[in-house]
Amino acid sequence: MKVGVVGLGYVGLPLAVAFAEGGHDVVGVDTDSRKVDALARGSSYVEDVAGDRIAAVGERLRATTRYADLATVDVAVIAVPTPLTDNREPDLGPLLGAGTELARVLQVGQLVVLESTTYPGTTRERLVPLLEESGLAAGRDFAVAYSPERIDPGRTDFTLRTTPKVVGGLTPACLRRAVAFYGHVCDEIVEVASTESAELTKLLENVFRSVNIALVNELAILCDRMGIDIWEVVDAAATKPYGFMRFAPGPGMGGHCLPVDPFYLAWKAREYDMPTAFVELAGEVNQKMPYFCVEKITRALNEHAKSVRGSKIAIVGVSYKAGVGDLRESPAVKIMRLLGRLGGQLAYHDELVPKLPDLELESDSLEGVLADSDLAVIVTAHPGLDVQAIVDGAPLVVDFRGVTRGIEASNLVRL
């Protein structure tokens, strides 16, 4: 098979590599020439794809900025970003751009699959009309399907192959094509009746997490006031063998998905006179968390007769989650901005994020940031973080991830 992947990011690159490893010829198209150059050098920029895998597939994966190279593929998968505008409305710019370019080279018999997360109706109402600008008819001359990506960056227990893949087709024949296609790299395919069902499935998964994280974050704020240990409560509840799923509180939601995707659904629901109250409320609670974290830091310093202004604050971990260097919507960045505005002197340590250009900061060693600090704040705890060294090395430690549990120390404050 010849496979095209449009958008070689966290979603597109692992998929492109998986097909190349399966012996298929893959052409990846990305508008970012730096990514194309990196792949040409055989190096990876996505943590979940080791550089040696890129080198190992060699010529079977070719990256380019030219859409024209997609004219010869059997299947084209679109995995471009679906962000929000400044007004927090869906920004389909990259997706519509990709559709327009693809239409120019579309051929009879090709299958086009959208993987970008989006609201129900996008594939049929927005992508198909663009592709049909080619003069070809969807469902007759070419096939169209939607299949959400369930990748969880940094996770190793479930892979593309072992995570069931949900697929919806524009027509039953489109569905059959897409099921056969994904069968090459996924063990289990879950067929749904339409592209809309597949689109909404992904949003349900993300809204479910957003709502549950918001619930436990709200309880964390309440626990703070009531003097109850939220971590103990969550762990105790998680001993129930049925009917409960453990979600951890934290400094707020980050990444490309959870802070963004639910708003795609909320936006579309308005067209149907339907306010999605759960979605909006969860977003509100989660967005409040970085502000609550700053309040907690301020109180901790106050206990030590210090103010944020003038204090040397060491931030440990700035990416949005453990094990990845992704800064998108990271609550750590929000917390740092707020502390900076209050006059805090910031330094940070994150082995996966060498620079924060927006804040004009560079990562220092753990010892480096702890030396002379007034306070260390654990915002993201990457695997292998020496938590004891932080507690021993800083006069005051605030932990928003619960990783200091089990350590008894008078200089320790936990969410």
CA atoms of 193 and 151, how far apart (whole Å) = 22
Select the residue interacting with ligand NAD from 75, 80, 112, 216 (CB under 6 A).
Answer: 80
Q: Check if 223 is active-site.
A: no
Residues 6+ apart with CB under 8 A from 94: 7, 80, 81, 82, 83, 116
CA atoms of 224 and 222, how far apart (whole Å) = 5
Q: What DSSP designation does 25 have?
A: E
Of the CA atoms within 13 Å of residue 40, those in its CB half-sphere come to 11
Q: Which residues is 144 bridged to in the sheet?
A: 112
**Shortest gap between Cβ of 93 and ligand NAD (angstroms)?**
8
Of 12 and 249, CB closest to ligand NAD: 12
Of 151 and 253, CB closest to ligand NAD: 151
- Answer yes or no whether residue 321 interacts with ligand NAD by CB under 6 A: no
**Shortest gap between Cβ of 353 and ligand NAD (angstroms)?**
15
Of 115 and 399, CB closest to ligand NAD: 115
Q: Which residue is nearest to ligand NAD (CB)?
A: 9
Q: Which residue has the tokens 């069902």?
A: 197
Q: Which stretch binds ligand NAD (CB under 6 A): 133-141, 149-157, 268-276, 329-337?
A: 149-157
DSSP 235-269: HHHTTSSSS-------S---SSSTTTHHHHHHHHH
Residues 6+ apart with CB under 8 A from 289: 217, 250, 251, 252, 253, 331
Select the residue interacting with ligand NAD from 44, 64, 82, 210 (CB under 6 A).
Answer: 82
Q: Which stretch binds ligand NAD (CB under 6 A): 9-17, 282-290, 348-356, 365-373?
A: 9-17
Of 92 and 297, CB closest to ligand NAD: 92
- Answer yes or no whether residue 323 interacts with ligand NAD by CB under 6 A: no
Q: Which stretch binds ligand NAD (CB under 6 A): 69-77, 111-119, 280-288, 366-374?
A: 111-119
- Answer yes or no whether residue 149 interacts with ligand NAD by CB under 6 A: yes
> Which whole-number Å values give the CA distances from 9 to 206, 225, 255, in the listed order?
19, 42, 13
**Shortest gap between Cβ of 96 and ligand NAD (angstroms)?**
8
**377, 400 contact by CB (below 8 A):** yes
Select the residue interacting with ligand NAD from 3, 4, 5, 11 (CB under 6 A).
Answer: 11
Helix (H/G/I), strand (E/B), else coil: 98: helix
Question: Where in 89-108 is the site for ligand NAD (CB under 6 A)?
Answer: 94, 97-98
Q: What DSSP designation does 317 have?
A: -
- Answer yes or no whether residue 70 interacts with ligand NAD by CB under 6 A: no
Of 41 and 240, CB closest to ligand NAD: 41
Residues 6+ apart with CB under 8 A from 26: 2, 3, 4, 5, 16, 17, 19, 20, 57, 60, 61, 62
Q: Which residues is 113 bridged to in the sheet?
A: 77, 145
Q: What DSSP designation does 345 have?
A: E
**Shortest gap between Cβ of 110 and ligand NAD (angstroms)?**
17
Label residue 157 exposed, middle or buried (CB < 10 Å: 0-12, 13-18, 19+).
exposed
Of 10 and 181, CB closest to ligand NAD: 10
Contact map string, positions 29 to 58, toward ligand NAD, x by CB under 6 A:
xxxx--x-----------------------
Q: Annotated catalytic residue: which of 174, 186, 223, 257?
A: 257
**Shortest gap between Cβ of 348 and ligand NAD (angstroms)?**
23
- Answer yes or no whether residue 258 interacts with ligand NAD by CB under 6 A: no
User: What does residue 75 show for φ and ψ, rounded to 5 degrees?
Assistant: -135, 135
Residues binding ligand NAD (CB under 6 A): 6-12, 29-32, 35, 79-82, 94, 97-98, 115-117, 149, 151, 153, 256-257
Active-site residue set: 257
